[in-house]
């Protein structure tokens, strides 16, 4: 019986992994800098961690032999476990139990849904559903980009998707975002 040995270094090289990670973190920082949630910069600080998580899942999956759908399924499970904890830290930055962080996120999301549907309010006082959504979007985008590079060996797909999301963020915000676009481009061209 032959066992399959997992290589210690990716075929693409560690520099490629670093550049994918940098591109995804730049996207997370640009979305964070836009202050999408109530104009508060600190509410989306967790996006860097969601970008790192997405990149790691998209990198590890192909390296251990998982297919695309299994990698995405495992990535979704990890996102469903990790992103609510990071979202709950917005309400409890000093720290709380994992259960309390899940409850804070779930309660805020459910109350926002009730405010807008059952209570028929025009607006809601809840905001964690926005933080949660941005966290999931950054995780999914980073996971797709990482898998495109390390699973499909198509780095252009990763650059296009990250670029489109970054450009959409730039188009929708009033904050100056050009430094994020130029820093991401200069890092890509240096290789």
Report the 10 Å Cβ neighbour count for 146: 28
- Asked if residue 3 is part of any domain, the answer here is no
Report the 10 Å Cβ neighbour count for 26: 21
- Asked if residue 7 is part of any domain, the answer here is no
- Asked if residue 23 is part of any domain, the answer here is yes
- Asked if residue 4 is part of any domain, the answer here is no
Given a contact cutoff of 8 angstroms between Cβ atoms, the answer to whether 44 and 137 are in contact is: no
Q: Compute the half-sphere exposure of residue 59: CA atoms within 13 Å on the CB side of its CA.
A: 23
- Asked if residue 141 is part of any domain, the answer here is yes
- Asked if residue 9 is part of any domain, the answer here is no
- Asked if residue 8 is part of any domain, the answer here is no
Structural domain including 127 reads: 14-189
State how many domains the chain has: 1
- Asked if residue 159 is part of any domain, the answer here is yes
CA–CA separation, 157 vs 159, rounded Å? 5
Instruction: Tell how far CA 157 is from the center of its chain.
Output: 17
Query: What per-residue confidence (pLDDT) applies to 11?
Result: 82
Query: What per-residue confidence (pLDDT) applies to 50?
Result: 96
Digit-by-digit pLDDT tens for the chain (191 residues) are: 566 666 667 788 899 999 999 999 999 998 888 887 877 778 888 999 999 999 999 999 999 989 999 999 999 999 999 999 999 988 887 878 899 999 999 998 999 888 888 888 888 888 888 889 999 999 999 999 999 999 999 999 999 999 999 888 888 887 776 776 665 555 444 44
Query: What per-residue confidence (pLDDT) applies to 7?
Result: 63
């Amino acid at each position: 019986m032959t066992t399959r040995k997992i290589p210690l270094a990716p075929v693409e090289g560690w520099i490629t992994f670093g550049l994918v990670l940098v591109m995804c973190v730049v996207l997370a920082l640009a979305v964070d800098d836009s202050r999408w949630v109530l104009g508060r910069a600190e509410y989306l600080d967790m996006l860097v961690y969601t970008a790192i998580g997405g990149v790691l899942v998209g990198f590890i999956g192909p390296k251990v032999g998982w297919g695309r759908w299994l990698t995405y399924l495992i990535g979704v499970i990890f996102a469903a476990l990790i992103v609510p904890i990071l979202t709950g830290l917005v309400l409890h930055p000093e720290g709380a139990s994992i259960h309390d962080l899940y409850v804070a996120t779930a309660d805020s999301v459910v109350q926002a849904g009730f405010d807008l549907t059952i209570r028929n309010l025009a607006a809601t006082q809840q905001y964690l559903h926005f933080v949660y959504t941005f966290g999931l979007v950054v995780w999914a985008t980073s996971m797709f980009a990482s898998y495109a590079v390390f699973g499909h060996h198509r780095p252009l797909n990763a650059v296009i998707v990250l670029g489109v999301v970054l450009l959409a963020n730039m188009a929708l915000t009033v904050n100056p975002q050009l430094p994020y676009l130029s820093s991401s481009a200069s890092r890509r061209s240096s290789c």
